[in-house]
A and B are shown apart, each in its own frame.
Chain A
Amino acid sequence: MFDFEFGEDLELIAETAKSFATDALLPKLREHESARAVDATVRASYAEMGLAGLELPESLGGADLGALARVLVNEELAAGDAGAALALDPLGPALYPLLEIGGEDAVREFALPLLETDAARAIFVDAADAELEVGTTISGSVPWVPSDRVDLLVLLRDDEAIVVRDGIEIQELRGSGMRAAGASELTLTGAPIAARFEGRAEAARARARARLYVASLLVGVLRQAADFSREYAIEREAFGRPIAHHQGLTFLIVDMLAAVDGARVLLHEAAWRLECAAAGEPAAAMAFAEAIETSTFVGPNAVQILGGHGFMQDYPVEKYMREARALGLSIGGLDAAREDAWTALADAGSHVQLSHLEVAP
């Protein structure tokens, strides 16, 4: 039966991630952004928390805490700095195709070595986000990945995962957001395929986990954007009172917070579903779609509330607006997420399933 509490273990992890984000990431937001990297002392203190193995199976030395722990940690880290959150996680969503389709052996062979390498990055690429031709080798380009280095590339297609280690040319980009993690275009010319793992259902599950990964970063950014602009609006006065008390802004601020809470509860439900119940994949697609739609509302309006100050880089809201938009573009973006969410509705016969909560018709 319904329980909206995460439980002590998860709350403790989220709390740890939150303190780290507040103390180590938030104050260095712009520094990390312009350096295109997270500084070494911050990386070291992150490593001490042991979050790198959060979702790894226990047999591989991980904590095996699953999707719920991941979304909570990501949300907290991204509330500090989404770019840094990506930079600090050597595996990122690239873990999911390896784990779900390739299994533990694939993780052992391709992912674990990265955990031993300083600042290594495995890069997840959804086939929808790239123009790649796959034969006995792989060629083509990936317009953007949030990284300046690629130790491992994991390409997720509808029915398989392809692992590439060599033959990747990296061209640095300015990047619209998440610059703390870097930004590059990748070109592959006859790049050798290191491994190939097949499985359609497993691929769908890997995509769902990747969507939750990105959606939780998005929700973290949006929560922070909404909170920051709310607090600003309480402090800032115009026409003789806090601007938050002018009803045009009062209602906007409240609607923004409601939108974030809605996206957040959908995210948590999807993570729980993926972990503990049926139909996690469409729930994850829906949660991602909701986070993206919410980002188009909350991101620009967080800037709006600060007025001219919002446009200036002295405040972080312009960064939130850029990053919220960029995060929602991957894994096929909103359209692909909506299509996958729709498929489950269409399969439900004449009775629309909101979350498989209702009894069978």
Chain B
Amino acid sequence: MNFEIDAAIQGPLAALRERGRDEARPIGLEADRLGRPIPVDDPYFAKLVARGEGRTRWRGPDGERKARSKPKSTGSRPSRRTVKTLLFVEELAYWDRGVVVANPGVGLPEANVIAMGTDEQKERFLGPFLTPDRPRWACFAMTEPGAGSDAAAIQTAAQKDGDHWILNGAKCFIGNATRSDWILAQATVDPSQGRDAQRAFFIEQGTPGLGGFRIEKKMGLKAYESTSFTLQDCRIPDANLLGGEARYEKRDGFKGAMKAFNAGRPIVAANAVGIGRAALDEALAFAREHDRLADARVRDRLERAARKLKVARLLCLKAGWLADQEKSNIIEASMSKLVAAQVGQEATSLGMELLGTVGARGDHLIEKLYRDVKALDMVEGTGQIQRIIMARKLVGLPR
């Protein structure tokens, strides 16, 4: 048993903290004040790319060949990739979760493309992200106006037409969609068949039929764009079906998407912990400045918020550690997300309470965090959905 963060992680964490404080937080506050996403041509993005951020973790065709020819070492130490990621994500979210999502890179679809994509697809779609010449984005489009947490109910239709597919439907709340080189969109060949009939397609920006872009106005997390769009008789070549048709004959189309969601739950949890921690620090600083700490009621509430955030962080790291051990983490991943979103919200709400009417002015960081954190109880499955996922395992709740 060990809960230590070793020096190899503390170094990068310290660097993230510095950049978060100097760059992400001011830019996030500005985007919130102006009520618009960070513009595509903002020098901030170019700066990130110039210093090597926004790259894919896919190692390129040569890297992949090398990895394949190298026999898997046995008895090696287990990976700690997820745990590391969770710690970094928490620190990034502490400074500004919205800016993190806005940052250039492949983002959400990356894991699926690496896991399921053909060699040709990886080269075409991830290749430009190896050493990007400019800020580049990609995005994953699952959610529809009528299908959020119930991802098996999506209606966007994919119809085979010779060596093409015709897509029709509507997607919403898709991060960075207008600025993405390509959109990995989930569609169904037969809505009555649920998840087994789902397929994912690469839709390149500018494809005829992809349009109707509308950047949503949101309560918080304004630094990145959440966008609705439509697909009208959008013709997509066979080569853009993720993994190729053969893969879907094995009926794991939906599982591909769900796998990504599963890996994402502790990450969402870490985001909520980061935001909650930021709110708690601000609340403590405010209370200290205003001589409120002699009040036991104030102390008790701050203590409780800190304690609950610690619980959430440990549950989240445990879920990540299980993933690194390649052990099932279905219950733990959902639990961490359920708990973290709640306690993150509570911490920001407590911060508002301590601010008093200062919180009602609408110009305090805590007020922004209070709005920002709410999204995390929705994305990747609401808290209610997490309970249902857990209940299937814990009490055999039927689907």
Chain A contacts to B: CB under 8 angstroms: 1-7, 10, 68, 230, 233-234, 242, 244-245, 250-251, 253-255, 257-258, 261-263, 265-266, 268-269, 272-273, 276-277, 286, 289-290, 293, 338-339, 341-342, 345-346, 350-355, 357-359, 361
A254 to B277, CA, bound (A): 25
A354 to B317, CA, bound (A): 14
Could you tell me if A233 and B395 are in contact, using CB atoms closer than 8 angstroms? yes
Could you tell me if A234 and B396 are in contact, using CB atoms closer than 8 angstroms? yes
Scan B173-207; emit 1 where CB is below 8 A from any A CB, else 0: 00000000000000000000000000000000000
Could you tell me if A290 and B311 are in contact, using CB atoms closer than 8 angstroms? yes
Least Cβ distance of A208 to chain B in Å?
Answer: 15
Could you say which residues of chain B place their CB within 8 Å of the CB of A254?
Answer: 338, 387, 390-391, 394-395
Could you tell me if B1 and A351 are in contact, using CB atoms closer than 8 angstroms? no
Least Cβ distance of A192 to chain B in Å?
Answer: 38
A200 to B391, CA, bound (A): 47
Whether B314 sits at the interface, judged by CB under 8 Å, is yes
Q: Which one of A230, A269, A293 lies within 8 Å of B3 (CB-CB)?
A: A269
User: When A and B form their complex, what is the total count of cross-chain residue pairs whose Cβ atoms lie within 8 Å?
Assistant: 155
A254 to B334, CA, bound (A): 11
With A245-B395, A250-B387 known to touch, is A2 a contact of B293 (CB < 8 Å)?
no
Could you say which residues of chain B place their CB within 8 Å of the CB of A261?
Answer: 315, 332, 335
Whether B17 sits at the interface, judged by CB under 8 Å, is yes
Whether B83 sits at the interface, judged by CB under 8 Å, is yes
With A250-B395, A257-B394, A345-B306 known to touch, is A350 a contact of B281 (CB < 8 Å)?
yes
A255 to B383, CA, bound (A): 11
Could you say which residues of chain B place their CB within 8 Å of the CB of A342?
Answer: 299-300, 302-303
Least Cβ distance of B304 to chain A in Å?
Answer: 7
Whether B2 sits at the interface, judged by CB under 8 Å, is yes
Chain B: how many interface residues by the 8 Å CB criterion?
54
Could you tell me if A1 and B307 are in contact, using CB atoms closer than 8 angstroms? no
- What 13 new A-B contacts, CB under 8 Å, besides A1-B6, A242-B395, A341-B303? A4-B1, A245-B397, A250-B395, A254-B387, A258-B335, A258-B338, A286-B310, A289-B303, A338-B299, A338-B304, A342-B302, A352-B306, A355-B314
With A4-B318, A286-B307, A338-B303 known to touch, is A68 a contact of B396 (CB < 8 Å)?
no
Could you say which residues of chain B place their CB within 8 Å of the CB of A268?
Answer: 1
User: Closest 4 interchain pairs by CB?
Assistant: A244-B395, A262-B311, A3-B2, A354-B310
Whether B31 sits at the interface, judged by CB under 8 Å, is no
Closest to B15 in A: A359
Could you say which residues of chain A place their CB within 8 Å of the CB of B338?
Answer: 254, 258
Could you say which residues of chain A place their CB within 8 Å of the CB of B303?
Answer: 286, 289, 338, 341-342, 345
Q: Which one of A242, A272, A289 lies within 8 Å of B307 (CB-CB)?
A: A289
Q: Mind listing 28 A-B residue pairs with CB under 8 Å? A: A1-B2, A1-B80, A2-B80, A2-B83, A2-B321, A4-B1, A242-B396, A244-B396, A253-B394, A261-B332, A262-B314, A262-B315, A265-B314, A265-B315, A269-B310, A269-B314, A276-B2, A277-B4, A286-B307, A338-B304, A342-B303, A345-B302, A345-B303, A352-B281, A352-B284, A357-B5, A357-B313, A359-B17
Least Cβ distance of A297 to chain B in Å?
Answer: 13
Which of B87-116 touch A at CB < 8 Å?
Answer: 91
Could you tell me if B304 and A1 are in contact, using CB atoms closer than 8 angstroms? no
Could you say which residues of chain A place their CB within 8 Å of the CB of B83?
Answer: 1-2
